Structure 1
């Protein structure tokens, strides 16, 4: 295999790895967006729980269902908000794991790209000498 063929192969490999890296970066950005949304929801729900904690036992609590406000038991409202916080917290934890995994893949992909670039440079340097 000639050096120009080897160079073309390496450039093709570099292009494929760069495309993979780009996809990983898009996935990471998408995960960060979803995480941001969940973080906002978590803050809102924690605020609701705090507000519910300020109410007296017999206070009226209403839940918006579609266009209608429906009366809800205070204990039930508390339980629902706590469940929501649990769910959102679990999703955030899952997303953190996913992002960490994607970032590790991104780092190894960057290393692989760097190695291919070094091979291309050494092949080009060899050609220049010849």
Structure 2
């Protein structure tokens, strides 16, 4: 009777570890989606910066705000795009660090699941 209780405890432990592993994997998937989004935004903003660099000082630059195009100073537009690139780059680094941490946790949880499985078998 005690061996069946011990087996049930091991099974509960295994289920708990498997659920933790599934949560970590879900977090990793979310972080990869976020990384993809930021990578696309970074590419778009770098392209805008290249286009702004091609313009002459007196060129007209417009910013789309809702349904309206608003005239903007070239230097201000350039500064805004550079600041956006800095922000997106920082977010990419943060997401990369999160992915790295979660992958480490995932590996340790996988090992814990394997250990629990070997105890049951």
TM-score range, shorter chain: over 0.9
**Match of residue 78 from structure 1:** 78
1:16 aligns with 2:16: yes
TM-score norm. by structure 2 comes to 0.97
Spell out, residue by residue over 1:2-34, the C-alpha distance to the aligned partner (whole angstroms, 9 max, x if none).
221111110110001001111111111011101
**Match of residue 41 from structure 1:** 41
**Match of residue 5 from structure 1:** 5
Distance 1:44 1:22 in 2: 33
Q: How many residues align?
A: 121
The list of structure 1 runs, each at least 4 consecutive aligned residues, that deviate by more than 2 angstroms after superposition, is none
**1:62 alignment partner, SS class:** strand
Structure 2's unaligned 5+ residue stretches are none
Q: Which has the larger radius of gyration?
A: 1
TM-score norm. by structure 1 comes to 0.91
Structure 1's unaligned 5+ residue stretches are 122-130
Distance 1:22 1:2 in 2: 30
